[in-house]
Structure 1
Amino acid sequence: MADNNQSKTAAGTAPGPEDVAKKAAAAAKQRLPEFRLVVLGWRWPGKSLTGNTIIGREEFRLERAAEFCVKRQTELQGRPVTVVDTPGWFSAQDTPLSYKQEIVRGASLCPPGPHAFLLVIPVGMFSEVDRARIEEHVSLFGERVWRHTIVVFSWAEVLRTISIERYIRREGKELQWVLEKCKRRYFVINNCVFGEHPQVERLLESVEKLVAEEGSSYDPEEVEKEEKPLDENENTSRNVRELGARPKRSSGPGSSNAMAVEAVSSE
């Protein structure tokens, strides 16, 4: 009788074959056969450099301001990865209409649509102007784009001993607004590290989680459905002095490896 009870107890704590099978099926369902990513952000090196970090080599040019989308592909863990780098927007002055149209075109370069938009925000001072610029340019894809957006913090090495959570709290309501719009999905990337690296694998896992939660990839026709015209005069930050996000000047040349970079979650 005692043996029987022990057997039941053991059976109650250990996963049975059906549980293992269900878990494996769920993991297989969440596993994407490929990744399609669109990178968004300011005209700072952090955006294109993030694309290079994912690809594992220098494919996106950093020394010039791109006016057109650039699409590059690689293979990670036996799965194709497509990264589209879009033209960066200006920090305070108006972004030309042609740039805005090209930014929107980026979503159509990885059919049937990107699994995720990576909104690159360099760690630094974050102001109302920065928030307004993000809203202005991300909204070009329609309101539903936020369901497919992950904030990627670049240049986080300047934080040194400050955690990303503390940085987010310190920057206040403007940055909080951005994170709330994308359901607080964010990731910290170290752009000093290239090639096969666990951080890229973790980023792709975050993309898989996003797709599992939202159920599908972004549909480029969302913009047409919402019929939101591109208006080059709609910039809300006109006549405001440039306060674009940038690394803090106090960062030192030896601080690049001072922060251990991990995927972070607010859950």
Structure 2
Amino acid sequence: MSASASPPELRLAVLGRTGAGKSPAVSTILGLQGSEQGTDAVGTQECSKHRGEAAGRQVVVVSSPAWFGSDCNPDERRKHISSFIASSSPGPHAFLLCVPVNQPADEEATALAVLMKLFGPSAVRRHTIILFTHTEELEEDEQLDEYLVTWRKDLQELVEKCGGRYHTLETRSGEPEERKAVEELLEKVEQVVTESETQHLSCPLYQEAEERVRERQVEIARERRAEEPNDPVPPSGSQPAENVTEEEMAAVREEAERSIGDLGADIDGIFPPSSVSPSSPAPSFLWGLWEKLTGWARWLPTLVRREALFGALVGLFVGGPFGGMVGATVGSVATEVGRRKTQKTK
């Protein structure tokens, strides 16, 4: 298949921290409802794989637990990585990194660094699209691109690392706009394919995974044929019989993917240490403060919301009584400037 040809199906690998909106994104792409949707809740420990049609295209979507976080158990991490690679083998056409717009981007920056070390620089530069979530936190008349440029340099830096590619599936206009957003996303994925020299992502880890998956497929097919007394067992190394349906082939393939064990990925030194410096606030504490802060800010009048949040953040990260004083001052000044700008426009 030439580099410019359209692939028969698009493989999407969805990543993100717990609560980033991976499951809603998968559901929106494939139109899943009810019990099919899954969950992003804490405790989701397995990769999920869905196959379906979206915007006239055959799509496979693999979603994975947040194995790039510093609090992930090393043994669980190896298991998640191996399962994720096997499920998205022979390689995804695009990684979709779900990034909530209402939280700091440090975990997502780590995720991009990990992807680059595991799969090579092209995994991020050519094959990753930032998928922004929780955009309901933006003001009603505020555009996402405006928000990124004006307020969130950290999120803008993520986008730049991914070749300027970003998208959101969240709309305020209901299902028709959602389907349009899905179509636009898949067009961006196809653009990734067009610009890539290798179609889907390819690297040693995925090559090893695909070889092992295919070997296991043949083993499973031989085992199933051996259980049928009237059918001859195919010789070792042969492919399954030609009269096997596509659905049966897909089922054998997915069983083979699930049975792949540790791929032996060298992850030593790739992930951030789980310990936190005694002089630094614990991550969970900072997350709690951030969530309380943004929740409190939503109740403020629109005019002062950002200024107050900005001042509170200054106080949070400076720390101590001095930080509180500085934060209060900054917030007050910013609020007054905002009022005066508003008065001038009236």
Q: Which residue of 2 aligns with 1:219?
A: 202
Gap change, CA 1:222 and 1:171, over 3 Å in 2 = farther
Measured on the aligned residues, the alpha-carbon RMSD in Å equals: 3.3
Q: Which residue of 2 aligns with 1:134?
A: 111
CA distance in 1, matches of 2:160, 2:274: 21
Q: Which residue of 2 aligns with 1:46?
A: 21
CA distance in 1, matches of 2:185, 2:122: 21
CA distance in 1, matches of 2:130, 2:62: 16
1:83-102, aligned counterparts within 5 Å?
A: 83-89=61-67, 93-101=70-78, 102=80
Structure 2 counterpart SS, 1:212: helix
Q: Could you report, residue by residue, the CA deviation over 1:84-127 in whole angstroms, capped at 9, with x for unpaired residues?
A: 01012476x52222443313532331332111000000111324
Identity %: 32
1:74-153, aligned counterparts within 5 Å?
A: 74-89=52-67, 93-101=70-78, 102-103=80-81, 105-127=83-105, 129-139=106-116, 140-146=118-124, 147-153=126-132
The one of the two structures with greater contact order (alpha-carbon pairs below 8 A, sep at least 6) is 1
Unaligned runs of 5+ in 2: 209-263, 277-281, 300-346
Structure 2 counterpart SS, 1:152: strand
CA distance in 1, matches of 2:273, 2:75: 18
Structure 1 counterpart SS, 2:96: strand
Q: What TM-score comes out, normalization by structure 1 length?
A: 0.69
Q: What TM-score comes out, normalization by structure 2 length?
A: 0.55
Gap change, CA 1:171 and 1:150, over 3 Å in 2 = same
Unaligned runs of 5+ in 1: 1-28, 253-267
1:69 pairs with 2:58: no
1:149-228, aligned counterparts within 5 Å?
A: 149-159=128-138, 160-190=140-170, 197-215=179-197, 216-222=199-205
Q: CA deviation at 1:210?
A: 0.9
Q: Which amino acid aligns with 2:268?
A: D
Gap change, CA 1:37 and 1:99, over 3 Å in 2 = farther
Which has the higher Rg, Structure 1 or Structure 2? Answer: 2
> Do 2:48 and 2:62's aligned partners in 1 also have CA atoms closer than 8 Å?
yes
> Do 1:121 and 1:154's aligned partners in 2 also have CA atoms closer than 8 Å?
yes
1:231 pairs with 2:268: yes
Gap change, CA 1:169 and 1:236, over 3 Å in 2 = farther
